[in-house]
Amino acid sequence: MLIDQPTPEGMEEFIVKKATYAIFRCNDANSDAIQKLENSIVMEWLPTSGYEFANAPDIELYDINGKAEIWIPIKKVSRTVAQ
């Protein structure tokens, strides 16, 4: 989504290219809960998902109600068959 407004003073604009993301929600956005969720994503979900990290930035979103989302860039695992 592009916003047709100037970047506010003191902030920088960073354009994220189109990518596929797996989105994980966290109902408690404290640092311990976020770290636990990130560890679970990398150690448990990702190895069994059929996906791997893609070349794009991770994104974390926090709302005013103390909840968060972690967006992990993913792509289908490409397996090569040994001959």
- Give the per-residue pLDDT at 16: 86
Residue-wise pLDDT tens digits, 5-38: 888 899 998 888 899 999 999 998 888 989 999 9
What is the residue-averaged pLDDT of the chain?
89
Residue-wise pLDDT tens digits, 22-80: 999 999 888 898 999 999 999 999 999 999 999 999 999 999 898 999 999 999 998 76
- Give the per-residue pLDDT at 19: 94
From residue 46, how far is each of 22, 38, 40, 72, 74 by CA, in Å?
A: 10, 10, 9, 10, 9
Model pTM? 0.78
